[in-house]
Amino acid sequence: MDPKKISHPAIVELDGAYWFQEKSEESFPGQRFCLEVDEILHHSHSEFQDILIFKSKTFGNVLVLNGIIQCTEKDEFAYQELITHTAIMSHEKPSNVLVIGGGDCGVVRELVKHLDRGVDTITMVEIDDMVIKLSAQYLPHMAKFHDHPRVNIVIDDGFKFLRENKSKFDVIITDSSDPEGPAEEFFRTSYFELLSNALSPNGVVIMQSSENVWLNIDKLKELVSSSRHVFENVKYCQCYMPSYTSGQLGLIVATHNTSLNLTQPLRTFAADEEKKLFQYYSASVHQAAFVLPRWAADINEVDT
């Protein structure tokens, strides 16, 4: 391996191999997650962020934004499926769907499965079109529907779009990066209020929460509490993701519909249909994702 081709601030040489190391003193101090690098496929700075794509030894191609892993070919389906189908299957008729972020187009891929199964329109708002273009090149299985004729991709700032938006959406999926750089604003009450204004009366929102119960549970509780200042019905679920620090990622699901049990899918597919459509998600996984260990269960037990 030519050392000149393996050059990035987050990649170090150790014992004759090159390792990408993910570290964040703010989000997960005192620990690092590493993947062995076979080859750097792309590295650049867009207008908004540092973009790194590398081929790993065991996880396939990996997309990294601002030093934080966004997805890997090995396990991306787990996150993409849970964040998409948990929200979609919690709505009786999720006709009009909005995705904020999601430049790798994995959520769009999952939403396309629901076209003519309840979903009629899909709009994705991504601030950095370079992420979309690079995902189409290096993560084609994820971004295979980036040019689907029934998917409307808008290159714009998510906040700006929501402020100017006049439409109402049945489901809004916030597939943002961790709260560093351009994604920081997605973790504040003002953003939850914009989401609320864009929702139809029984609409459902879902957003990655950045934290899981093992990393910073106090910060997680604060985020859930902020959501509850805006939405009457809020729940937290988690996804198993080996390429994310601590092996898990949390999602916050919210609605103004107090009669809706977010922990139970409102719609289901037959078992054989689930097997054809999904690798990770199922009606059973939907329910189990909201079951937290005893010491963390009060995240979902707060009286809303």
Question: Does the annotation mark 178 as catalytic?
Answer: no
Sign of CA dihedral 64, 67, 68, 74: positive
Tell whether the model's pLDDT for residue 78 goes beyond 90.
yes
Q: Which two tokens stand for residue 82?
A: 């849970």
Taking CA atoms, 26 is separated from 66, 210, 219, in Å, by 14, 11, 11
Mind listing the pLDDT tens digit for each residue in 275-299?
999 999 999 999 999 999 999 999 9
Tell whether the model's pLDDT for residue 110 goes beyond 80.
yes
Q: Report the 10 Å Cβ neighbour count for 245.
A: 22
pLDDT above 90 covers what percent of the chain? 80
Question: Average pLDDT, stretch 227-249?
Answer: 93
Mind listing the pLDDT tens digit for each residue in 204-228?
999 988 778 988 888 889 889 989 9
Tell whether the model's pLDDT for residue 245 goes beyond 60.
yes
Q: Which listed residue (75, 104, 170, 175) is catalytic?
A: 175
Cβ 128 vs Cβ 103: under 8 Å: yes
Coil, strand or helix: which one is 159? helix
Predicted local confidence at residue 183, as pLDDT: 46
Mind listing the pLDDT tens digit for each residue in 152-208?
999 999 989 999 999 999 999 999 755 454 445 555 678 899 999 999 999 999 998
DSSP secondary structure letters along 229-294: TT-SEEEEEEEE-TTSGGGEEEEEEEES-TT--TTS-SS---HHHHHHH-SS--HHHHHHTT---G
What is the 3-state secondary structure of 65-110?
Answer: ECCEEEEECCCHHHHHHHHHHHHHCCCCCCCEEEEEECCCCHHHHH
Q: What is the pTM of this model?
A: 0.93
Question: Average pLDDT, stretch 97-121?
Answer: 97
Predicted local confidence at residue 181, as pLDDT: 47
Predicted local confidence at residue 233, as pLDDT: 97
Q: Which domains does the chain carry?
A: 11-70 (2.30.140.10), 75-300 (3.40.50.150)
- Under DSSP, the state recorded for 194 is H
